[in-house]
Chain A
Amino acid sequence: MDIVQHWLHGFAVATTPENLLFVVIGSVLGTLVGLLPGLGPIEGTAILIPLTYRMEPIPALIMLAAIYYGAMYGGTISSVLVNVPGEGVSVVTCFDGYQMARQGRAGVALGVAAIGSFVGGTIATVALMLVALPLARVALAIGPPEMFALLLIGFVLVATLGGRRLLPSLLMALVGLLLAMVGMDPVRGAPRLAFGVPELYDGIGFIPVVMGLFGVAEIMLALEHPTPPAPGARVGGLRGMLPSREEWPRVAGAIGRGTLLGFLLGLIPGIGAVIPTFAAYALEKRLSRHPERFGTGVVEGVAAPETANNAYANASMVPLLTLGVPGSPTLAVLMGAFIIHGVTPGAFLFRERPDLVWGLIASLYVGNLVLLVLNLPMVGLWARLLELPRAYLYPAILLFAIIGCYSVRQSLFDVGLMLVFGVLGYLVRKLDWPVAPTVLALILAPLMEKALRNSLEMSGGDASIFVTRPIAALLLGVAAVALVLAAAGLGPIRRLGAPPEP
């Protein structure tokens, strides 16, 4: 079957009435959870996983993917209207988006974000369709040593790009790896680090950790800093959402560059969703004839990061689907959902479940179109939802977090774990330490350990297998260079992780 047939097959799967319905439901739910304060793509995807338990894998994963990119767009709405980014990916959008809202141009900011997201997401999906199969074929030739080295690169990038300071980031990533050791040994099947607690024999689930570190902690932090009502929440009609004729060329350029940057960075496992938005904003500012205007409400300051954000979101499916390596905490949650539905992401997926993988990829294209069609006219409604009283909103979010934690394993212990990680997340986030590396490391750790142990078993315990195989040696070298550059506080690695000035 050639690639065109795969595409057509994927579109046939994604456009069945049932799957189309789930794309629409996922996009709406995703936008809804993404725009609510205290919820971003990570928590939104995690909270809504239980809704898919009784569904077949294909519609379930199509809906969860739609929730993922819908939540990305939802974060934009709260960034522009109330200057509250759902999570890191929307921080840069606040710089100019909120200023535009204060000038009464919230509609234009949201319209440009929707158009940029659509273009970036669509082009990235087409590119994803082109590169996924060849990459999956390459991935099939990768052995455990190469996989370990690749995962190590992801881990180093997560640890070094996750925050502005190396040691706290590294420590939080190591804590995630250590937490993943609790439970059954993946090779021998014996319990370890469970301290005699039977509930820990199954390990520490990622859902309670995600809900705690992000959801509960975010609500506790938000209660300390209540958000003021939105001054520019009036959006106006569809016509009021388009940029002026003079702005179009600048918007088009920003969207083009944002797409390219977002897609390329999305191919690197572990780079995270925040970096592409920072990089796209910084690039636009550098190329602009009037860099001093950035931060005062320029339209390309919204178009570039929003486009890069969505291009990244779709491109980052490449390492997830071909290698089984999640590039960001949200994708780690999505990968967890794959596993819950009995689907293991990786190169074999293209051979064993072509209907699922191509249907999912095609659904990204359909979903981007649905988001554009739905969100342009619905922005006014979303804006009104932001006015919901926090006294009801936060208990409702916590209610869904409890259900999400309980229903994965029907365990009240997991609900208790969520509370513990909520307190931990609150404390470390007050210290300005990043928590995303913990979640990503928690997901990467079993894969890393399995690859490491399989490699050593292949070589009879000889660690030189990692340097005698050229690709593994090269990848390990890249990981080492990235770590050294980050430790030295110089080079592109640290600059990439640094947020741009508005």
Chain B
Amino acid sequence: MKRAWQLTSLGFCALALVALVESLRYPMLDRLGPGPGLFPCLLALATAGVGLALAVQVSLGRVPEAEDPEARLLPSREARRPVLAVLVALAGATLLLGVLGFRLTMFLFLVGLPWALGARNPWAIVLFALAGSVGLHWVLSTGLELPLPAGRLGL
């Protein structure tokens, strides 16, 4: 976990430096007092400083005791498939919602993800997917007037 702590601290440090450079483009002070760049600049400096301090602390060997010595940053071999399935399903839904619309995208999402997570009853999966896509769309858009993505296909 030591390497993961170092990398994550330095990752946040790098992001803060990007924000610092960007914040320097805005005025720090103007005629009314503090400008729009002041607070982001101070925060970016503080974030980079704390991130660096944490990375140094870990590098100096002051590694905090691990809650679980066997813990790993990435999922174990058995968990890799379901975790990846969640990520792929979410990414796919994000990309498809604007094209296929809520009902079709969510139907595919609710068929694919339960299958990937171990459900094997096709009737139960299809019923579940229909309820979560067509049924929920009807409840939310008709009953609660909640706007849901229609997609380019208008579905």
Contacts and interface: CB of A to CB of B under 8 A. Distances in A.
A403 B140 contact: yes
Interface string B1-34: 1001100110010011001001100100110111
B87 A419 contact: yes
B36 A171 contact: no
B145 A54 contact: yes
B66 interface: yes
B87 A395 contact: no
Interface stretch (A133-141, A175-183, A337-345, A477-485): A175-183
A467 interface: no
B147 to A, nearest CB: 5
B73 A394 contact: no
Nearest to B132: A399
A12 interface: no
A35 to B, nearest CB: 20
Interface in A387-440: 389-392, 394-396, 398-399, 402-403, 406-407, 410, 412, 415-416, 418-419, 422-423, 426-428, 430-433
Task: Decide if the interface of chain A is mainly helix, strand, loop or mixed.
Answer: helix
Contacts of A174: 16, 43, 46-47, 50
A461 interface: yes
27 contacts: A50-B140, A167-B50, A167-B57, A171-B51, A175-B15, A177-B43, A181-B39, A181-B43, A187-B36, A193-B23, A223-B117, A389-B119, A390-B117, A394-B86, A395-B113, A395-B132, A398-B86, A398-B90, A398-B109, A399-B106, A399-B136, A403-B146, A406-B97, A410-B147, A410-B149, A431-B1, A457-B34
Nearest to A165: B64
A219 interface: yes
A457 B119 CA distance: 61
A428 B54 CA distance: 14
A195 B102 CA distance: 30
A56 interface: no
A220 interface: yes
Contacts of B87: 220, 419, 422-423
Interface string B84-122: 001101110110011000000010011001100111000
A160 B136 CA distance: 42
A246 interface: no
A431 B37 contact: no
B79 A223 contact: yes
Most buried by B among A164, A402, A423, A457: A402
Given A171-B12, A174-B43, A431-B5, A220 B53 contact: no
Given A192-B23, A399-B110, A406-B97, 11 more contacts: A54-B144, A178-B19, A193-B23, A219-B86, A220-B83, A389-B119, A392-B114, A398-B90, A407-B148, A427-B8, A452-B39
A50 to B, nearest CB: 6
A354 B127 CA distance: 47
A399 B128 CA distance: 12
Contacts of A373: none
A50 B26 CA distance: 35
A407 B57 CA distance: 43
B12 A175 contact: yes
A171 B39 contact: no
A320 interface: no
Contacts of B82: 223
A188 interface: yes
Contact of B149 (A406, A418, A449): A406
Contact of B9 (A171, A426, A453): A171
Interface in B34-68: 34-40, 43-44, 46-47, 50-51, 53-54, 57, 64, 66-67
B90 A419 contact: yes
A108 B76 CA distance: 38
A4 interface: no
